[in-house]
Amino acid sequence: MSKRERTRQLLQSAALDLFLDKGFDATTTREIAERAGVTEMTLFRHFPTKESLVLDDPYDPVIADAIRNRPRSESPMRAAVAGLGQAWANVPEAGVAALRSRLRILAEATTVRDLGRSVDRTRAAAAAALVDRGVRPRDALVVASAVIAGLSSALLAWARSEDDLAETITSALAVLGGERGA
């Protein structure tokens, strides 16, 4: 991991801890920087806004790569569902707690517009990966939108519960892939 990646991870971890302790609105960027042991200027070099500390999703490139690398013989929906399942299966255990915290903060503290932008970035990454596989752009957007909307709903419900992440993802992807009724 590069120094830049370590610093970003440290800043996000400090922010999540403070947001959970004090609340999103009551936490200042100065407090986050101090907790991370960096200057406020360094924080803003990595994250342009306080909201971006929560909205920046480190898993978007992982999801896109997993979809992009699925066999070309798979349908777009199957590639998206299987790629997402593969990406989520590789989330490290330490990342699960951070993900739950991030989603709880997102559900409680961000505006609908901010949450929408985060989902839009994930959907765009998934759609681009499908286009890279030869899927028509319009079809790629339809598939990515359906899969990301379903998965986002499942993840927000998971964040508010004590359910297992792997079971939540597996169940949601089975429903999306038509392998199981809702």
Asked if residue 47 and residue 61 are part of one domain, the reply reads no
pLDDT tens for 19-65 read: 989 988 899 999 999 999 999 999 999 999 998 898 887 788 888 99
Instruction: Note the pTM of the prediction, 2 decimals.
Output: 0.64
For position 111, which CATH number holds? 1.10.357.10
Is residue 182 in some structural domain? Answer: no
Identify the pLDDT of residue 51. 86
Q: How far is C-alpha 39 from the chain's CA centre?
A: 26
3-state helix, strand and coil shares in percent for the chain, rounded to the nearest 5: 75, 0, 25
Helix (H) or strand (E) holding 120: helix 112-132
Average pLDDT of 162-173? Answer: 90
Contact 100, 83 (CB under 8 A): no
pLDDT band at 110, cuts 50/70/90?
low
Asked if residue 63 and residue 7 are part of one domain, the reply reads no
